[in-house]
Structure 1
Amino acid sequence: MSRVRVGLIGCGSMARAHIRQLLDVPEAEIVALTDCDPAQIERTRSAFPRLSDLNVYEDYREMLAAEDLDAVEINTPHAQHFDQVVKSLDVGLHVLCEKPLATTSADALTLINKLAVSGKVGAIGYQRHATPVYQFIRNKIRSGEFGKVTYMSALLCQDWKRLTSGTWRQDPALSGGGQLGDSGSHIVDVLLWVSGLAPQVVTSVQDSRGTPVDIDSAVTVKFEGGAIGVLSIVGDFPMWHEDLTIACEKGGFLLRGGKLLVVSADGTKMIADHIPGGTNPDANFIQAILGREEVLAPFSCGYDVMLLTEAAWKSASEGGAPVSVAELNRPLN
């Protein structure tokens, strides 16, 4: 195989971001588009005139049956991911799925096991795995140079409540939950991925701010091995802001506004900028299919994220009571 023929399931704004990246990959060929909303198809065609002659479908199952595909990219409401991944694997396709992989850890585990049997490539659109600054932090922690992680905190502020009002993201039947499981999923994922830690006990309080889903979340985590962490998701804030703090036995990392400050055990500070490397989920997905790269954000990350997220939802529903992750965990086959 020298080219990978890709079908798009979902053509909303996130899909258009993926299309833009796919068009920069010489080995990728977008061959068909699917969306139940014709307006989204037209917006996509307008944004990318070179795709205007592609076959389009309202039902992704018709595309799977009619087109000669190697892979699909799924960019649809969260609760639809499970069935779409299953059916795509059933017809022998590689799958890149936007986050979250599924809306429950049980469904995520089912997809992991199904992917393993299929022998296909499965990836999630967690772009921070492909970003040099996060790769740098992860590699430094894994090298042992900074000792064990002792504390982590992450903050995400976003105008999520207003921007998603009236959309499927605030409909639990389609979204599976609120901001913690949506853009907050990226923050949960990157904490787990860069640190390599597994959550042990989770406590959480949440505020829906008059909506059907969680908007603000204050989550504390005790990790296996003794590290502790705090995760703050603020969904009713007039701007985007994100920061990450990781303290280790021999220094730590402060990421503010995309700028990384590395602190050594003796207090020496270094601004880590112009870090080489990096790619994006779409390029990595295509190269992984061609056997040239390892998948940067595998399906297993989706299970890990949902496990912590479910624990946070359960704790919040029980008034902030501690939740043992072991009670939710199901061993991977």
Structure 2
Amino acid sequence: MADRLRLGIVGAGAIAQVGHLPALRKIRDVEVAGICDNDVVKARALADRFDIPDVFHDLSELIEFGQLDALLVCTPNHLHESHVLAGLAAGLHVLCERPLALTPAGVQKITRAQAKRDRVVMTGANHRYRPDIQMIRSFVQSGELGDLESVRAWWFMSRMARTSLGWRQRRDQAGGGAMFDLGHALIDMSLWLAGFPKVERVSAVFPERGKGVEPSGTAMLALAGGLAIHLDTSWRFVGPGERFGLSLRAAKGSARIAPLSIWREHHGVAQDVSTAGAHSRETPFLLGVRAQWAHFVAAVRGDATAAPLAEQLLGMEVMNAIYQSAESGRDVTP
């Protein structure tokens, strides 16, 4: 591998445009060598904007001619599994936007291929790398807040933000509606903060159920040790912008983001231990994406360890249980 990681991108959609490519501009160890999309006009416009030398219509061409070290997968959900497997088959390291696959079986197939090829595979989890979430996790891990008792996470978007993408309205391509789209990040963030305790049962309610995808959904996870995780998602939020947040309550403290606030008990008195940190003009989202890329590069070079794909398998099993509960009206064990 050369001094710089040669990266190919498949998928020229929104997450590549507003997330990965702006972040990669500041990652000196990565060179974006080519981009691929079935909409070549869109791919060419993005290549011109971000100085990407080559544009391809087909992933096989990108892999064959790009002389790549790694692949970024930003395609619609139903293509993730096959594109990750294609990258691994070519001997590439892969960073794939969530979800890694549409089913637990798909995640397991990728896990076997990753082990066989001995390559780094990471799933997009920029929420883990946000400075505010990192700060909260440090307090949780240190034990300063005591045992976690409740975690609440929510993500609301307006109807136009998601329903304008046709493939998101098809369950066979998207995997589901608002819960599948937004809930994967919430599940991963919440379980990661809690240290991935065993999920004992899941209960979910979707206000609208049917053959289509759900525009909103809520779920509650009961975990070993008495911890409860509450998830709330919607594609039809009425209000300014979107809403992404998390709050937690523990035996000796509490925390939330947007804005960051951390409180702990000190000699029987509630104490604000929040810290603003270094000022940045960038959003927590972009800071998280860039930190994720730094971790990916370090993992490829052997200087860091990528999160085990077993965590993604657990998240997919929990998501399956959420949909089973919403459809049956009963608690489900993942």
Compute the TM-score of the two structures, normalised by the length of structure 1.
0.88
**Quick one: which amino acid aligns to residue 24 of structure 2?**
L
Q: Tell me if 1:323 matches 2:332.
A: yes
Match among 297, 304, 323 for residue 313 of structure 1 = 323
**Residue identity in the other structure for 1:221:** L
1:123-142 correspondence runs (5 A): 123-142=122-141
Compute the displacement of 1:210 (Å): 8.4
- Structure 1 window deviating more from structure 2 (69-78 vs 272-281): it is 272-281
Q: Which residue of 2 aligns with 1:329?
A: none
Alignment match, 1:9? 10
Number of the residue aligned with 2:108: 109
Quote the offset at 1:29 in angstroms.
1.0
Question: Displacement of 1:166 after TM fit?
Answer: 4.2
TM-superposed CA distance for 1:214, in Å, is 1.6
**What is the 5 A alignment of 1:248-327?**
248-255=250-257, 257-264=258-265, 266-270=268-272, 272-275=274-277, 279-295=290-306, 298-318=308-328, 320-325=329-334
Q: Which runs of 5+ in 2 are unaligned?
A: 279-286
Q: What percent identity do the matched residue pairs reach?
A: 27
SS of alignment partner, residue 212 of structure 1:
coil
1:151 positional shift:
1.5
CA shift in 2, pair 1:282/1:177, >3 Å: same
Equivalent runs, 1:149-160 vs 2, <5 Å: 149-159=148-158
Q: 1:195 deviation in Å? A: 0.9
**Alpha-carbon distance in structure 2 between the residues aligned to 1:209 and 1:91:** 41
1:101-250 counterparts in 2 under 5 A?
Answer: 101-159=100-158, 161-167=159-165, 168-196=167-195, 197-208=197-208, 212-238=212-238, 239-250=241-252
Q: Which moved more, 1:29-38 or 1:240-249?
A: 240-249
Which letter does structure 1 place at the counterpart of 2:10?
A: I
Shifted more, 64-73 versus 38-47: the winner is 38-47
> Would the alpha carbon gap of residues 59 and 118 (structure 1) be closer, same or farther in structure 2, given more than 3 Å must change?
same
Mapped to 1, the partners of 2:256 and 2:65 lie a distance apart of 50
**Alpha-carbon separation, structure 1, partners of 2:97 and 2:62:** 19
Superposed displacement of residue 269, structure 1? 3.2
Q: Contact conserved, 2:220 with 2:230, CA < 8 A, in 1?
A: yes
Distance 1:169 1:267, change over 3 A: farther
Give the equivalent residue in structure 1 for 2:89.
Answer: 90
Are the equivalent residues in 2 in contact too, given 1:147–1:248 (CA < 8 A)?
Answer: yes
SS of the aligned residue for 1:76 comes to coil
The 3-state SS of whatever aligns with 1:182 is helix
1:331 — aligned with what? none
Residues 39 and 301 from structure 1, CA distance in 2 versus in 1: closer, same or farther, beyond 3 angstroms? Answer: farther
1:161-196 deviations in Å (ceiling 9; x for gaps):
322224211222221111212122211111011111
1:207-258 CA distances to partner (integer Å, 9 max, x unpaired)?
Answer: 3488821221121111022212211112211331223221222222233x23
- State the secondary structure of the residue aligned to 1:252: strand
Q: Within 5 Å, give how 1:18-33 maps onto structure 2.
A: 18-33=20-35
| Secondary structure of 2:163's aligned partner | coil
Aligned letter for 1:323? V
Q: State TM-score, norm by structure 2.
A: 0.88
Secondary structure of the residue aligned to 1:222 is: strand
Following the alignment from structure 1 to structure 2, what is the Cα–Cα distance between the partners of residues 212 and 258?
35
The residue number in structure 1 matching 2:41 is: 39
Amino acid across the alignment from 1:110: K
CA contact (8 A) 1:254 1:262 kept: no
Counterparts in 2 of 1:193 and 1:263: CA distance versus 1, 3 Å: same
Give the CA deviation at 1:154. Answer: 1.6
Assess, with a 3 A threshold, how the Cα gap between structure 1 residues 45 and 67 changes in structure 2: closer, same or farther.
closer
Instruction: Classify 1:110/1:224 alpha carbon distance in 2 versus 1 (closer, same or farther; 3 Å).
Output: farther
Secondary structure in 1 matching 2:206: strand
With over 3 angstroms needed to count, the CA separation of the structure-2 counterparts of 1:262 and 1:43, relative to structure 1, is farther
Once the two structures are TM-superposed, the CA of residue 271 in structure 1 deviates from its matched residue by 5.0
The secondary structure found in structure 2 opposite 1:273 is coil
User: In structure 1, the residue corresponding to 2:20 is in which secondary structure?
Assistant: helix
CA contact (8 A) 2:10 2:36 kept: yes
Aligned with 1:31: secondary structure? strand
Answer yes or no: is the 8 Å Cα contact 1:99–1:302 preserved in 2. no
> Cα gap change, 1:110/1:258 in structure 2, threshold over 3 Å: closer, same or farther?
farther
- The Cα of 1:140 is off from its aligned counterpart by 2.0
User: CA shift at 1:87, angstroms?
Assistant: 1.2
SS in 1 for 2:33: strand
Q: Secondary structure, in 3 states, of the residue corresponding to 2:313?
A: helix
